[in-house]
Amino acid sequence: MIPDASTSISPASGLHIRPFAPEHLADAVRLSRQVGWPHRQQDWAMALAISEGVVALNNRRVVGTACCTRFGDVALLNMIIVDEAMRGHGLGRRLIAAAMDLAPGAEMRLVATTDGLPLYEKLGFHAKYRIVQHQGIARTATARVPVREGPVQDVTGLVRMDHAASGLDREALLDRIAAQGDVLLADRGFAMVRDFGRGQVIGPVVARDAATARALIAEAVRRNAGAFLRIDLPEGAGLSDDVAALGLSCVGGGTAMVRDPGPSPSGDFTTFALVSQALG
């Protein structure tokens, strides 16, 4: 349960922190458009379905959001937005603190914008690596490793691979993605593709090696040639040039940060593309 944190902001301000509920989704979409995010209401709804969150209300109008998504021993902070008219008054810090209170004792992860980095550093987060966002109109491609359709009813094997790569227990999330999107399998990894924002997003891509990851991405691109695609890559995965050659140009990214880190994943799988910057 989310504690009533309305006393954390002066009553004279007219602002209150409340639990993020489905009736706040339309305003959340408005805020995300304000900051240039492509999220549809369906994208927000999926994030909220597996998360807890808070909103800042000003006379019943949502002027800020923050979510906390718990995946086992790790919590991801995400969907943190403050209305442009309310910035510069500490509201972002209060929202983040309220979201962090939803997962006491957990390792905390997030992806920060350049503007957000100083605040997160003050809150005890440390930069780990860069995330590179690519998007564009997909070209035709050829997978150099055999890739096939994967299961939609049973993602148990995919969950094990994903956990070995990320340390996250994401069965509920992967179940949702499999039910609404496509699952691609190779002998040494898997990928998922789903509707998101302006088109579709490829992710996660989890594999034992880069060759398998390239093949999974190429097959996802082949199936969606001529359509708008997005993919978010850890910079160290080394696949940005390959993805750019498939028509998906680099358009920015963020910085993956962590606070109170637990043990690093020890499996022999690697996350080559994220589900999203919000959900790791």
Give domain limits for the chain: 6-105, 132-273
Give the integer Cα–Cα distance in Å for 45 and 49: 6
Segment (H or E) for 201: strand 199-207
pLDDT tens for residues 139-179?
988 889 999 998 788 899 999 999 999 999 999 999 999 99
Q: What 3-state class would DSSP assign to 270?
A: strand
Looking at residue 266, what is its pLDDT? 81
- Token pair for residue 179? 């039910």
Please determine whether the domains at 6-105 and 132-273 fall in the same fold group of CATH.
yes
Nearest to 258 by CA among 100, 134, 142, 149: 100
Taking CA atoms, 146 is separated from 17, 151, 189, 257, 263, in Å, by 50, 16, 11, 35, 34
Listed residue (23, 60, 71) closest to 44, CA to CA: 23
Span 227-243, mean pLDDT? Answer: 96
Do residues 220 and 184 touch, judged by C-beta distance below 8 A?
yes
- How large is the angle between the packed helices 25-34 and 41-49, nearest 10 degrees? 120
- Give the contacts of 246 (CB within 8 A, at least 6 positions apart): 138, 139, 141, 217, 218, 221
Angle between helices 156-166 and 171-180 (to 10 degrees): 130
Judged by DSSP in three states, 65 sits in strand
* Rounded average pLDDT over 69-81: 98
pLDDT at 13: 58
Residue 114 token pair: 């350049």
> What's the mean per-residue pLDDT of the chain?
93
pLDDT for res 85: 92
CATH fold, domain 6-105, is Aminopeptidase (3.40.630)
Kindly report the CA angle at 260 between 254 and 265, in degrees rounded to 5? 75
CATH number of 132-273: 3.40.630.90
Three-class SS of residue 167? coil
**Confidence (pLDDT) at 10:** 40
pTM of the model: 0.92
